[in-house]
């Protein structure tokens, strides 16, 4: 059975950084890609980026380029999303999802984590 | 970037109704489209991928169709559990944008 488990809620000050972890179990870690999606309060889903551990590649949407770093650790079957220079606009639930596979035709988010609430406030 | 536009934004329907949600891409995405259902306070759930392939465990009253730039999600007979928000997402080319969502509520 596939499980995707994310780290807990975070309260951050403006200008600081946050790092959210996501651990996937069930299946071979390098057989999948991982996607990060965020959802601001009352808003829709926003694709942030994705990482393919087997290829050592990642992509982030232009809006977040320079502020987001996506990493993967095969030894712990975990992926990480670090977001820097936080503002109140970054207050959102951040979701990690494992995709159907590594190839282009499989990169739909299939198994989702429970979400991590990041609150940015003074 | 490929922009995804869903319609309608909100939809009021009754149990037993047949409903259709449309998703349009700003350029061709072949069949690389997925649909998700999201309930309040919960993570999204994959319903359909590759435009028309039903994810395992998803009821057969859900179906998807389309290719190129126009796609539809149809729920054949609404059940109480189906009142939720629905999103489309393209995975043809980065960034893998979502549509803005459709909220389906009870009439």
| A4-51 pLDDT per residue, tens | 999 999 999 999 999 999 999 999 999 999 999 999 999 999 999 999
Q: Are strands A18-25 and A78-83 parallel, antiparallel or unpaired?
A: antiparallel
pLDDT at res. A65: 82
Chain A residue with CA closest to B97: the answer is A47
- Contact between B44 and A115 using a beta-carbon 8 Å cutoff: no
Asked if residue A92 has pLDDT above 90, the reply is yes
- Contact between B91 and A107 using a beta-carbon 8 Å cutoff: yes
Asked if residue A104 has pLDDT above 90, the reply is no
State how far residue B100 is from chain A, nearest Cα, in angstroms. Answer: 6
CA B63 – CA B74 distance, rounded (Å): 5
CB atoms within 10 A of CB B23: 28
The answer to whether the beta carbons of residues A1 and A110 sit under 8 Å apart is no
Q: Which stretch of DSSP H or E encloses residue A72?
A: strand A68-73
CA A97 – CA A24 distance, rounded (Å): 9
- Contact between A46 and B100 using a beta-carbon 8 Å cutoff: no
Question: In percent, how much of chain B has pLDDT > 90?
Answer: 98
Q: Which of B1, B46, B99 sits opposite A108 (nearest CB)?
A: B46
Residue range A50-75: average pLDDT? 94
State how far residue A108 is from chain B, nearest Cα, in angstroms. Answer: 6
CB atoms within 10 A of CB A115: 21
């Amino acid at each position: 059975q596939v499980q995707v488990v994310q780290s807990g809620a975070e309260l951050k000050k403006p200008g600081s950084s946050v790092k959210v972890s996501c651990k996937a179990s069930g299946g071979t870690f390098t057989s999948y890609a991982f996607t990060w999606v965020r959802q601001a309060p009352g808003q829709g889903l926003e694709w942030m980026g994705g990482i393919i551990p087997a290829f050592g590649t990642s992509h982030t949407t232009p809006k977040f380029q320079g502020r987001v770093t996506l990493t993967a650790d095969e030894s712990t079957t975990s992926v990480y999303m670090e977001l820097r220079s936080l503002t109140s606009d970054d207050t959102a639930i951040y979701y990690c999802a494992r995709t159907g596979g590594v190839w282009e035709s499989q990169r739909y988010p299939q198994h989702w984590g429970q979400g991590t609430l990041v609150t940015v406030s003074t | 970037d490929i922009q995804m536009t869903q319609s309608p934004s909100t939809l009021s329907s009754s149990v037993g109704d047949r409903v259709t949600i449309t998703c349009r891409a700003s350029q061709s995405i072949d069949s690389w489209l997925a649909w998700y259902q999201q309930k309040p306070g919960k993570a999204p759930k994959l319903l359909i991928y590759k435009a028309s392939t039903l994810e395992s465990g998803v009821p057969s009253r859900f179906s998807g169709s389309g290719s190129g730039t126009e796609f539809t999600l149809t729920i054949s007979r609404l059940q109480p559990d189906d009142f939720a928000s629905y999103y489309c997402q393209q995975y043809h080319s980065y960034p893998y944008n979502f549509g803005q969502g459709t909220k389906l509520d009870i009439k």
